[in-house]
Structure 1
Amino acid sequence: MRIVKYICFVAFLFHGLRVMGQEEVAQDSVEQYIIMKGDTVPQLALPLEEVYVFGRLKFSSKEEKVRYYILRRKTKKVYPYAKMAAERLVELNDSLSKIVKRRHRKKYTKKVQKYIEGEFSAELKKLTRTEGQILVKLIYRQTGTTAFELVKELRSGWRAFWYNTTAKAFKISLKKEYHPDSVHEDYLIEDILQRAFADGELTRQETVLDYDYSELTNKWKARNGQ
């Protein structure tokens, strides 16, 4: 089932807006040494980016493996939209902060809305229900605010209620948050993102939420008895 009615909200929002063991091995900086005629000579310390060593994926059943790979495909598909939503939100807020008159702010918002709808609606209409729900979660990951609250702030409380009600018809909640520390599917989504970032399949955009991927992995491994 496609989420056509939900698309209008998502399109507008854009203007406002390696699963198992891994070990963090990065340090803020390292000091390398070379041996020259018996003497140890320190080289210049080089700053390193955070690096993860990902464990092999393990699944308890064929069904679990299939579900993971479906989730991976859908997550990779919608992540760029969530990333763009966060970027657009920053751009919008920066622009609105420079516009004093309310009438001009409203006019600017409508202008951006029309542009974004024309630019992205065709692609967003291709999203399935599950892809739409993952997108809502990732929007929260990137902005720290639910899709519902973003609409409420940028449009009106009534419109937020209407969009949320419409989305529920497709079993999509615009109030859905992202909690990889307590929701296993959210952790799997985070694992998928981190592996994709490391492989260069997706462009990294740091989450605004406060959690550590290494700690999450250790936590879920312990819960699953691994």
Structure 2
Amino acid sequence: MMKYLAIILLLFAIVLNEAHAQITQGFTVKAIVVDGDTILMENLPQIIIKDRRTFKSKRHAVRYNRLVRNVKKVYPYSQLAASLLRKYNDTLMATTDKREQRKIMKQAEKELWDRYGDELKKMTVSQGLILIKLIDRETGSTSYELVQELRGRFTAFIFQGLARLFHLNLKASYNDDGEDQRIEDIVLLIEQGDI
């Protein structure tokens, strides 16, 4: 009898060892309970649905396609400018010495000019205007305000004068509802991955 009991206990131990609870696979989701019913919650990215764009003439289509090309070219630079501005602001906040801050800014300007100077020199005037507006969109400050804050009033005045020679305005702000609506539409399409 002891033999049978030992065999039964051994088999029982083997079976229990093989028995697993539910395997925890999957993922966690947000949910709310409304009137005893559980409803899953998920944040979806913004989707823009627009009619197919029609143009009055072939010239308008060419202008729009040129604007798309220009925005696609300068948009990464505006994002880069915003991220570098945040990085340099953090670095500048770490020190209170004005001389050290000027040294940091000169070094940053030299690095940026060495790395992106040739590409920025090749931009057209219209691409420069779009870049100025997109920098305002990404940072919340006009290019003039940024230069004034980082380099001083006199330098900002000189840069504004140079920009005016090319019919640009560093004080131009971004208005996504008004005149810059087409640029905003293109940027949203780029962010959405449609173009």
TM-score where L is the length of structure 2: 0.77
| Residue of structure 1 equivalent to 2:133 | 137
In the alignment, which of 36, 57, 60 is matched to residue 53 of structure 2?
57
Partner of 2:42: 46
Match of 1:178 among 166, 174, 185: 174
Letter in 2 for 1:118: D
Mapped pair 1:117 → 2:105: no
**Equivalent position amino acid for 2:118 in 1:** A
**Offset of 1:114 from its aligned partner?**
1.1
Listed one character per residue, the Cα deviations across residues 9-30 of structure 1 (whole Å, up to 9, x for unaligned) are xxxxxxxxxxxxxxxxxxxx89
Contact 1:149–1:175 (8 Å) recurs in 2: yes
Residue 156 (str. 1) matches residue 152 (str. 2): yes
Identity percentage over the alignment? 38
RMSD after superposition: 1.9
Structure of higher CA gyration radius: 2
Runs of 4+ in 1 over 6 A off after TM superposition: none
Of the candidates 80, 83, 88, which is equivalent to residue 79 of structure 2?
A: 83
Deviation per CA, 1:167-197, whole angstroms, max 9, x where unpaired?
11111111111112121xx100111111122
CA distance in 2, matches of 1:72, 1:87: 23
Code of the aligned partner of 1:158? F
* Contact 1:137 1:177 survives alignment (8 Å): yes
Q: Is the partner of 2:94 in helix, strand or coil?
A: coil
Are 2:120 and 1:108 aligned? no
Tell me how far 1:45 sits from its aligned partner. Answer: 3.1
Identify unmatched segments of 5+ residues in structure 1: 1-28, 32-40, 202-226
**Partner SS for 1:80:** helix
> Displacement, 1:92?
0.8
Query: Is residue 190 from structure 1 mapped to residue 184 from structure 2 by the alignment?
Result: yes
Query: How many equivalent pairs are there?
Result: 162
1:113 offset after TM fit, Å?
1.3
- The more displaced of 76-85 and 105-114 is 105-114
2:22 aligned partner: none
| Contact 1:140 1:146 (8 Å CA) reproduced | yes
For normalisation by structure 1, the TM-score amounts to 0.67
Structure having the higher helix fraction is 2
Q: Which has the higher contact order (CA 8 A, sep 6+)?
A: 1
Unmatched 5+ stretches in structure 2: 1-29
Aligned equivalents of 2:119, 2:181: Cα separation in 1: 27
The structure 2 residue matched to 1:128, chosen from 124, 131, 149, is 124
